[in-house]
Amino acid sequence: MADVPEVAKAYAAGLIDGEGSIYVCRGSRGQLIIRVAVVMTDRSPLDFLALWFGQTVHERAGRTITGRPTYEWRAAGRKAQAFLEVINEHLVLKSPQARLAMQFPMGSAGQRLGDQRDPIYIEREKIKGLIHNMNHTRKAG
């Protein structure tokens, strides 16, 4: 991602600020994972993300209420962190979530479910809660 033009970074940040999500979820084995995703009915901005930042665009199951298909681009784990590091300086609205996501501890330590004494597990749960609260708090304006 080192050769990404500034205009592409800014455009990607605008997509994340406007249509994207930064969140922590559980993976297939129950482990906590950081994710960045954008879901839209217009595929072309998502193809742009895939071109410059990798990953693939998938058509999601189901349709909108008007019958249009929806598409998703997403990155998880280290790829999500690397993406956020590249676009971070251009983020406005979701900059706080991105900063937390970039601090999310990576690696296999702390992955066991229920090991609530593990410091990595504790840190991941803390970041999950903070990001969740930010994503579900409306700002008056």
Convert the pLDDT of each residue in 28-50 to its tens digit: 877 889 999 999 999 999 999 99
Q: pLDDT tier at 2 (50, 70, 90 boundaries)?
A: low
CATH number at residue 102: 3.10.28.10
The answer as to whether 72 is a domain residue is yes
Supply the pLDDT for residue 120: 85
The answer as to whether 121 is a domain residue is yes
Number of neighbours of residue 15 by Cβ within 10 angstroms: 18
Cα separations in angstroms, 131 against 33, 61, 70, 125, 134 = 12, 26, 25, 10, 5
The answer as to whether 61 is a domain residue is yes
Question: The domain containing residue 97 runs over which residues?
Answer: 6-135
Within the chain, where are the H helices? 6-19, 44-53, 77-87, 95-103, 119-135
% of the chain beyond a pLDDT of 70? 89
Phi, psi of 63 (to 5 degrees): -135, 165
Structure tokens at 42: 């217009």
The answer as to whether 93 is a domain residue is yes
How far is residue 119's CA from residue 109's CA, in Å, rounded to a whole number? 9
The answer as to whether 1 is a domain residue is no
How far is residue 135's CA from residue 141's CA, in Å, rounded to a whole number? 16
Supply the pLDDT for residue 138: 65
Provide the number of structural domains found in the chain. Answer: 1
Q: pLDDT tier at 134 (50, 70, 90 boundaries)?
A: very high
The answer as to whether 108 is a domain residue is yes
Is residue 105 within 8 Å of 123, Cβ to Cβ?
A: yes
Within 40-118, where are the H helices? 44-53, 77-87, 95-103
